[in-house]
Chain A
Amino acid sequence: DAGITQSPRHKVTETGTPVTLRCHQTENHRYMYWYRQDPGHGLRLIHYSYGVKDTDKGEVSDGYSVSRSKTEDFLLTLESATSSQTSVYFCAISDDRANYGYTFGSGTRLTVV
């Protein structure tokens, strides 16, 4: 979707190294989310943000941190990557009005070796 971009699209990293994934939006939406998608588990929420510098944990937040210093950018950091964090990561945005759905980015495929 043109209003939300993720970078990088693909990344291979070694166990124990830090990794940062970026989500950028041009829609000026208040809410931003990071999900991971794994076979057998579906989509699970890692962290979300409800405004600049306002973030909270999702259901699978261990090993991840996030930051949002600007409305348009939401960063997901793996402080010390592990093989269990090999996954496809999706960013999503939404407004807080009930008639807004979620818009997803194209995803980042992360492999930890």
Chain B
Amino acid sequence: KQEVTQIPAALSVPEGENLVLNCSFTDSAIYNLQWFRQDPGKGLTSLLLIQSSQREQTSGRLNASLDKSSGRSTLYIAASQPGDSATYLCAVRWGNNDMRFGAGTRLTVKP
């Protein structure tokens, strides 16, 4: 069974720190991997999409990496800001109708 695991479940850091969120998945035969951000009471906002053939994607202060062979992805956030506080979800797509989500990492960035 395909599963997605995110560690840690929660993370609190002071403003300005660089941080890494982790995502692991079973079965390396993926289509793609997507990182989302979710603010309390809101929907999911797509941050980065990494194709199966790619190793990383970057957008501003965010960098996501993918290592299919080890079943891992990391989301690196540089110079964190209080506005980065949210829940970050990792989602892995194995087929057109099979995307599984991790439980998320709740990030708090303290001023």
Where the two chains meet, the residues of A that have a C-beta atom closer than 8 Å to any C-beta of B are 1, 31, 33, 42-43, 45, 48, 50, 56, 90, 94, 96, 98-99, 101-107
Contacts and interface: CB of A to CB of B under 8 A. Distances in A.
B96 to A, nearest CB: 5
B103 interface: yes
Contacts, number: 50
B43 A107 contact: yes
Contact of B99 (A50, A102, A105, A106): A102
Given A48-B97, A98-B31, A102-B91, A42 B103 contact: yes
A105 B43 CA distance: 7
Interface string B41-85: 011111001011000000000000000000000000000000000
B52 to A, nearest CB: 7
| Interface of chain A, main secondary structure | strand
Interface residues of B, number: 22
Contact of A103 (B31, B42, B46, B51): B46
Interface in B24-47: 31-32, 34, 36, 42-46
B44 A104 contact: yes
Interface core residue of B42, B43, B99, B101 (most chain A CB under 10 Å): B43
Contacts of A1: 43
Contacts of B51: 98-99
Contact of A99 (B32, B42, B46): B32
17 contacts: A1-B43, A33-B99, A42-B102, A43-B89, A48-B97, A50-B96, A56-B97, A96-B96, A99-B32, A99-B49, A101-B32, A101-B46, A102-B46, A103-B46, A104-B45, A105-B43, A107-B43
A106 B101 contact: no
